[in-house]
Structure 1
Amino acid sequence: MSRPHCPRCTRPLNHCLCALIAQVDSRTRLLILQHPSEVKHALNTARLAALGLRNAELVVGERFDDLAARLAQPGYRPCLLFPDAQAVPLAEFAGQQQAQPLLLVVPDGTWRKARKLLHCNPLLETLPRVSLPAGLSSRYRLRKAPMAGALSTLEAIVVALDIIEAPQRFDALLQPFEALIDGQIAAMGEETFRRNHAERGE
């Protein structure tokens, strides 16, 4: 028999994170496009981001037939957070036309699934691409990052908002993420964590 889960944060009721989810305002609008494979992921940090940001929307799917309408937000300048050779540093892009707030489109999935989202939704290919600074490291201490600078979706959103809306900070969004990690470490035991993760520097 499965354990009852919170309908909001989707965590087991005895590990509900809702009390830690801040309600944060941002000038930037977030459109998070989540691949269906991420919905039942143990972390699902994109959902935590959408719950914590008042000006955010989370949409699940592979093909988004109404994407044009979602991107046509009056008064917003859309861009795609996707690091590649064509991407402009986010700080540089945000510094242009500062009177117009950004609509930041964030694909949520593995790199392969994120690329599939772009392939299935050609309109995404037409958006200016922006990237985060190099040298960032994830707070997720239980898994080795697939590549240098790889962050969870929530961490990437926090870094992006810190850049776009400086000096405002968005660290409050990370509270449930940190609690989730601490809970996983506690469940496996501190000794096991140190042996399998901390001592290897992962």
Structure 2
Amino acid sequence: MLLLSDNEILKPSNTGRLIADTVKQTFVFKWHRTEPDPQMLTLLQDANFQPMVVFPDEYVDDKTRLVELREHQFGEKTPLLIFIDGSWREAKRIFRRSEYLQGLPVVSITPQRLSQYMMRKASKDNHLSTAEVACAVIEDLGDKFASTTLSLWFEVFKESYLLSKTRLKTDIELREQAILRYQNHVEMTVKNEK
């Protein structure tokens, strides 16, 4: 589930939408503190799902809320990963001021590498884009295929976005290579399914 800040919805550099492009069951809601979307609240209460907020542990005051994905038992429930999509300042505000998120478990990741997201500057070197965080969390859940698909789609998006800003010949080649890697991944998947 993506919880979008007002400012993030129309930004061309937004990576949260890439999750919706590649993950079949994705829910997208605009954040509102005092008037949350009723469908979102219903989804958070759905007995078929185990909602969990994905957010850095350094901003979690109650450390008992932190869970490890590999250790967390879902039983019959499907994990519902909640990604807050906005600038770091907006995301922190959404995390702290949303009563409907306060009792939920929190999943935090430790990035294995620095962000490849070059469209905006993060406030800290270890902060990743929404799509990069989703790749890591989805892989931790054991879905390597979905993580790889999202990662390759992110690479195509990044190279295309940067190309629109620079128009250098080398950037065209980088975008072409990113597109080719994504196409090969998709073609291999289709081939294996037959």
User: TM-score, with normalisation over the residues of structure 2?
Assistant: 0.70
AA of the residue aligned to 2:124: M
CA separation in 2, counterparts of 1:88 and 1:167? 23
Work out which of the residue numbers 6, 14, 35 in structure 1 matches 2:5. 35
More helix by share: 2
Q: Which residue number in structure 1 is paired with residue 184 of structure 2?
A: none
CA RMSD in angstroms, aligned pairs only: 2.6
Aligned residue for 1:104, secondary structure, equals strand
Q: Which residue number in structure 1 is paired with residue 115 of structure 2?
A: 138
Q: Which residue number in structure 2 is paired with residue 170 of structure 1?
A: 147
Q: Determine whether 1:121 maps to 2:121.
A: no
Q: Determine whether 1:45 maps to 2:23.
A: no
Q: Which residue number in structure 1 is paired with residue 182 of structure 2?
A: none
AA of the residue aligned to 1:83: P
Greater CA drift, 152-161 or 66-75: 66-75
Question: Contact conserved, 1:76 with 1:101, CA < 8 A, in 2?
Answer: yes
Q: Which residue number in structure 2 is paired with residue 11 of structure 1?
A: none
Work out which of the residue numbers 152, 157, 160 in structure 1 matches 2:137. 160
CA separation in 2, counterparts of 1:184 and 1:47? 14
Greater CA drift, 110-119 or 142-151: 142-151
AA of the residue aligned to 2:24: R
User: TM-score, with normalisation over the residues of structure 1?
Assistant: 0.68
Question: Contact conserved, 2:19 with 2:150, CA < 8 A, in 1?
Answer: yes
Alignment of 1:77-96 (within 5 A): 77-85=50-58, 86=63, 88=66, 90-94=68-72, 96=73
Aligned residue for 1:107, secondary structure, equals strand
CA separation in 2, counterparts of 1:137 and 1:73? 36
Aligned residue for 1:151, secondary structure, equals coil
Q: Which residue number in structure 1 is paired with residue 31 of structure 2?
A: 61
Aligned residue for 1:77, secondary structure, equals strand
Deviations, residues 67-114 of structure 1 (Å, cap 9, x unaligned): 4312012222111111124263533454x2454321111111112211
Identical-pair percentage: 25
Q: 1:145 to 1:65 in 2, by over 3 A?
A: closer
Gaps of at least 5 residues in structure 1 are 1-30, 194-202
CA separation in 2, counterparts of 1:181 and 1:167? 21
The aligned length equals 162
Q: Which residue number in structure 2 is paired with residue 76 of structure 1?
A: 49
Gaps of at least 5 residues in structure 2 are 172-194
